[in-house]
Homo-oligomer: A and B are copies of this chain.
């Protein structure tokens, strides 16, 4: 035959590698971006691993801290249908990596066939083959106890294979010995193993990246005296109040000098009076820019003392990083090339024609000095991190280039791996997702405008189960200084309660703009708009926190439930449940072990009492179908005895529009029948 003699080009190094590894999960854009987890999490990795023919394959999950060269490994277990799984616990914050290695295993293949052989002559010949494979495993084992045991087993099996007197069952018993086999499996033949060509990045953050309760307030309104500008010192006085409400992150709008040129007056007017304080987002004046502090608020020393006091209460201060300059920001003079010019030579202010924002200059991310600009902006995070700030709420990140964010966030995390970044991008879905992919820890969401049962169910199912679940962590807000949503503008207390309860229980990260929220602030600047009337963005406020209708205590009850119940500290377990009434929305969440289950039911109609039948998926929750279980409402402290999957609920919005119930039941986990607290 001539066919074998042809000259054929080969581009493959070793054609004997037969194993296939596909579809490794979790994975973000095929490993281009990092999967996100929290320190202490167990990462479940799955992959399709198979080979041609009937040989047995084996595979390992490999993982390491980024920068290490040695992999740690864990044998993967077969899930059926060529799918395999293994997991590992991430015990440090920072960057990790993982991938999968597989191989066709000669020893396992041999043993698989050996166990099924019937013909005595075949069994004897196969015993000799097995002895050779065990010998090879002994060589790989080196010189220790394993090698000794394998050598002895190999001799025993070879001897049995040659002994014509020995019965088939006895030979097979020797070859299938489980204790010896376990030793052999520890020393697999990896000479034709394949490690998947992609290394998948994993970003591990601290717990607050997944579970946090934010309270935004303007420090300049912290004074109780209308005549006096609030200070960091005043803010210290607010800490016990915020602590009682159960928040653990206090977020300040920008604390820097406010531009004087083209300063905005009250209600965003263009003709400010001499006492107008302007918008804190118009950053920078002669006395300094992004690393300076507005004189009226106090000194850096005052700020650092506030950080310390807050820290003593278990509260972190988050800063707002808004990368834009007022016309009098020092950078405008020092680095005119960081800004775009108009054809008349003036610097281009922010605009979205026909709208103009003359008090703000955006940076030009196409500047030829992009390296200088990037370093300066990353330096802002580094400066405040050096003062002790570790949480940054980033203003409008979607108007700055993605490559900058990818670089800057990774760069800051090298020195401050515990830094948390919240993306304030209220924009198109793909833009928001890209920001999450390039490194933001948390993202604002559309919750602010999702009101109906259908909208909420669709959106939170997507957030908790959709393709973004491994990198997009929602942080949901019922209001912000920019957004007084239509739903709140009637000012009904029940709506404020319901919107708060849903924010706090649908998502593990949530926040509110207070005290506007707990004091039911609800007047819009214009009918049909979403701006607050007399917005705090443009003026100082004095808040009467002692008002009888304040929601502060209610908020404290909900936040206490969040802190007491791991079920409310994650997003992934959220599952909606059917209720035969569109005014009632019901959902359950649980901790990874299912030892803590919370069921919420909310009446989203602010006007009427509603009742309905809620259907629980008892099997998914691990509850015995025929035993009663207790539902303990964490808001009212009421206790209901429920049985079976369908149970009655009724909610009067004038009393309380929500149940947040702790489910106490005998759970049917494997061999583990316990009432839990």
Q: Interface residues, chain A, CB within 8 Å of chain B?
A: 1-6, 8, 10-12, 15-18, 20, 22, 29-30, 48, 50-54, 81-82, 104, 113-114, 116-119, 122, 125-126, 128-129, 132, 161, 192, 288-291, 330, 335, 342-344, 351-354, 356, 362, 365-368, 370-372, 374-376, 378-380, 382-383, 398-404, 407, 411, 428-431, 434
Contacts and interface: CB of A to CB of B under 8 A. Distances in A.
A-B pairs with the 6 shortest C-beta distances?
A: A3-B379, A128-B343, A4-B376, A116-B353, A15-B370, A30-B30
A471 to B, nearest CB: 13
A379 B114 CA distance: 35
Contacts of A53: 362, 398-400
B289 A1 contact: yes
A82 B428 contact: yes
A52 B400 contact: yes
Contacts of A119: 354, 356
16 contacts: A1-B330, A1-B379, A4-B376, A6-B379, A6-B382, A11-B407, A15-B374, A15-B401, A15-B407, A16-B366, A20-B434, A50-B428, A52-B365, A82-B428, A118-B353, A126-B342
A82 B354 contact: no
B10 A374 contact: yes
A485 B29 CA distance: 42
A128 B12 contact: no
A20 B54 contact: no
A80 to B, nearest CB: 10
A15 to B, nearest CB: 4
B18 A402 contact: yes
Contacts of A368: 16
Contacts of A50: 428, 430-431, 434
B81 A428 contact: yes
Given A291-B1, A402-B18, A6 B81 contact: no
Contact of A401 (B52, B401, B434): B52
Contact of A22 (B2, B401, B430): B430
Nearest to A130: B343
Given A3-B375, A12-B407, A22-B430, 18 more contacts: A4-B375, A6-B375, A6-B379, A10-B374, A11-B407, A15-B371, A51-B401, A52-B400, A52-B401, A52-B402, A53-B362, A53-B398, A54-B399, A118-B353, A119-B356, A129-B342, A161-B343, A192-B366
Nearest to A398: B52
A370 B429 CA distance: 50
Contacts of A18: 365-366, 401-403
A372 B372 CA distance: 58
Contact of A403 (B12, B113, B125, B431): B12
A591 to B, nearest CB: 33
A118 B354 contact: yes
A434 B335 CA distance: 56
Contacts of A370: 15-16
Nearest to A192: B366
Given A81-B429, A82-B430, A16 B365 contact: yes
A432 to B, nearest CB: 11
Nearest to A407: B12
A48 B401 contact: no
A354 B126 CA distance: 12
Contacts of A428: 50, 81-82
Given A1-B289, A82-B428, A353 B16 contact: no
A122 B112 CA distance: 80
A375 B4 CA distance: 6
Contacts of A128: 343-344
Contacts of A366: 16, 18, 104, 192
Contacts of A48: 430
